[in-house]
Amino acid sequence: MERSWWKEAVIYQVYLRSFQDSNGDGVGDIGGIIQRLDYLQKLGVTVLWLNPCYPSPDVDNGYDISDYCGISPKFGTLDQFDELLRQVHARGMKLIMDLVVNHTSDQHPWFQQSRSSKENPYRDYYIWRKGKNGAPPNNWGSHFTPSVWEYDPATDEYYLHLFAKEQPDLNWENPEVRQQVWKIMRFWLDKGVDGFRMDVINLIKKPEGLPDSPLPATCAEGYTFDCDLYANNPGLTDFYREMKREVLDHYPVMTVGETAKVTPEFALDYVGEPERLLSMVFHFQIVELRDNFTWGGFKAIQRKWVDALWSKGWSSQFLQNHDQPRCVSVYGDDGEYHVQSAKMLGTLLHTLPGTPYVYQGEELGMTNTAFTSIDQYNDINAKFDYQELLAKGKTPEQALAVLNRYSRDHARTPMQWTDGSNAGFTEGQPWLMVNPNYPAINAEQQENDPDSVLNYYRALIRLRKEHPVMVYGEFQEYEPEREDVYLYTRSLDGERWLIALNLTGRPVEAKRPVEGEYQVLLANYPDPDVQGESLHLRPWEAVICCL
């Protein structure tokens, strides 16, 4: 298999408005990231992915961009960005940007022009249609509003927005739009950035004719949110091919596509060798298990992806991001076995095939927050879901209970640096509440504790850097049907490692899958019991052994 830096990378996601504030306005910023580069370097991560930091009205926290080649004054200046990039590179790390080009902000000059008249040269930059008998052009439901269509009285037409009405979708059928996107990409690549995370990049191709969804309504207002219809449409790869030819082929960079509803079959079209239109994608099949999550389901998905992609294309691993609740609260135990389960999840993340993505605070085992009122939420999605739940007859308490399970704001609470005021995130008023557990869970305390989650993540990342078997080793699973343990080996050039994970909060026993003496390389308990007939694993125990 061809070796590449982005296969060997450990990528750290910086949700910068919550990472570190350097000027006391309550919002994380570029100056704050610069202050924390020592921390990131010591953690060992090799690539930083910056969530959008461009000028934006912030209807969807920066995913509504009004100027693609600037830096939001909330976060700093372009000069500060250049300095960040310089310092990241000086430390031997890389930096990738968020490319959000399925849609712009409605405040972007292109859209302002586009909506001004039907004759405007920018009209066709967006997707405008006439209504049908006083109703929107089709029955599509949006992520953050009932319909994807917003009526604009100025020209008596509707424009399409798969997300908020302030996020109109670009019309990728227009070659001029594509040229503009290539220009934006070159602007950042010429500065020296090392690639892009591409926001909802498999939604840019709309289905021919924008047909109604055949599925029943999903929202109280009668529209159908049908992501399968919006995603992975025929012709999508032609856009990727053009992007590669025009831009990516000319720079030594990586890309990761955020691709909802992607299956291994679709993914192969995007990341398959030798064409490799994208370096890798994020799939959401595990996230989609949601209330039906089982470890059996998790393992089956991992198996399916390894079987389909092994040596044909590369993949990624993540347990959370800025759109998902905290992984230790979802898959582990944020109570009694907080530390053990956070470490077990970290082990899983770094040893399964694919490039691992660590989301800020995950390396501390940061947990979900108990929000007690809708006013404590910031996220547009939470507010929409709350209204929808009420419209469907839920009580405010029931609606809050749903949000408390899934809200994106769990991931967005400020980074917990110290046990001081506002967890050391800001000297001002934080833009989103700090999780009240920061006196117990924070980086400063973990720095000084050799058994902390933070120091365990450092050890995992070091192992991955030193041992190619963790990156390129062939994957073999044992006892796949078991819900309580996860056992697999990674093998490369005669070296063979076993990863044994207890997926529960009780002791479990498993047959040793391979004979011989095991040398323990890393574990989240002292003295793992792995040499006898069976492996004895304590609650959430994780052991990496060399066989």
Q: Any bridge partners for residue 191, and if so which? A: none
Q: How many other CB atoms are there within 10 angstroms of residue 492's CB atom?
A: 16
Residue 515 CB-density burial (10 A; 0-12 exposed, 13-18 middle, 19+ buried): exposed
Q: Which is nearer to ligand NOJ, 143 or 467 (CB)?
A: 143
Question: To which residue do tokens 């704001």 refer?
Answer: 409
Q: How far apart are CA 88 and CA 41, in angstroms?
A: 9
Q: How far is the CB of 165 from ligand NOJ (least distance, A)?
A: 13
Catalytic, out of 258, 333, 363, 379: 258
Alpha helices (H) in 375-452, listed in sequence order: 380-391, 396-406, 409-412, 443-447
What's the closest the beta carbon of residue 46 comes to ligand NOJ, in angstroms? Answer: 22
Smallest gap from residue 256 Cβ to ligand NOJ (A): 12
517 is catalytic: no
CB nearer to ligand NOJ: pick between 381 and 445: 381
Applying CB under 6 A, does 60 fall inside the site for ligand NOJ?
yes
The site map against ligand NOJ for 397-416 (x = CB under 6 A) is --------------------
Q: How far is the CB of 323 from ligand NOJ (least distance, A)?
A: 5
The least CB distance from residue 330 to ligand NOJ, in Å, is 17
Question: From the CB of 91, what's the least distance to ligand NOJ, in Å?
Answer: 27
Query: Which of 387, 375, 385, 381 has its CA nearest to residue 432?
Result: 375
Return the C-alpha torsion angle 134, 140, 143, 145, nearest 10: 10
Least separation in angstroms between CB 437 and ligand NOJ: 24
Q: Does 16 bind ligand NOJ (CB under 6 A)?
A: no
Nearest to 9, CA basis, from 49, 39, 37: 49
C-alpha span between 488 and 231 (Å, rounded): 33
Phi, psi of 485 (to 5 degrees): -130, 155
Token couple for 436: 């009240």
Which of 29, 199, 362, 541 is in the footprint of ligand NOJ by CB under 6 A?
199
Q: Which is nearer to ligand NOJ, 60 or 166 (CB)?
A: 60
Regarding 379 and contact with ligand NOJ (CB under 6 A), the answer is no
Q: Based on CB atoms, which residue is closest to ligand NOJ, 324 or 347?
A: 324
Nearest to 17 by CA among 435, 411, 437: 411
529, burial (CB in 10 Å: exposed 0-12, middle 13-18, buried 19+): middle
Q: Which is nearer to ligand NOJ, 386 or 518 (CB)?
A: 386
Interface residue with ligand NOJ among 14, 185, 200, 287 (CB under 6 A) is 200
Total residues in contact with ligand NOJ, by rule CB under 6 A? 9
Question: Is the CB of residue 439 less than 8 Å from the CB of residue 416?
Answer: no
Nearer to ligand NOJ, 36 or 322 (CB): 322
Cβ proximity to ligand NOJ, 15 vs 240, nearer residue: 15
- What's the helix, strand, coil split of the chain in %, to 5? 35, 15, 50
List phi, psi (to 5°) of 114. -60, -40
DSSP of 29-65, one letter per residue? -HHHHHHTHHHHHHHT--EEEEPP-S----TTTTSS-
H/E element, 316: strand 316-318
Positions in 448-487 near ligand NOJ (CB under 6 A): none
Q: Is 6 in the site for ligand NOJ (CB under 6 A)?
A: no
Indicate the residue among 100 and 499 with the shorter CB distance to ligand NOJ: 100
Closest residue to bound ligand NOJ by CB? 63
Q: From the CB of 282, what's the least distance to ligand NOJ, in Å?
A: 9
Tokens of residue 40, six digits: 């990131």
Whole-number minimum distance, CB 94 to ligand NOJ, in Å? 20
Contacts with ligand NOJ, 244-283, as mask; x by CB under 6 A: --------------x-------------------------
Strands 47-50 and 94-99: parallel
Touching ligand NOJ, residues 292-331 (CB under 6 A): 322-323
Nearer to ligand NOJ, 59 or 501 (CB): 59
Is 199 marked active-site? yes
Positions 117 through 156 that interact with ligand NOJ (CB under 6 A)? none
* 163 touches ligand NOJ by CB under 6 A: yes
**Which pair of structure tokens corresponds to residue 313?**
């294309």
Exactly one of 11, 88, 100, 342 binds ligand NOJ (CB under 6 A); that residue is 100
Strand order, beta sheet including 542-546 = 474-478, 485-492, 495-502, 542-546, 519-523
Q: Which member of 21, 106, 199, 334 is catalytic?
A: 199
Among 6, 63, 172, 431, binds ligand NOJ (CB under 6 A): 63
What amino acid positions are annotated as catalytic residues?
199, 258
By CB under 6 A, name the binding residues for ligand NOJ.
60, 63, 100, 163, 199-200, 258, 322-323
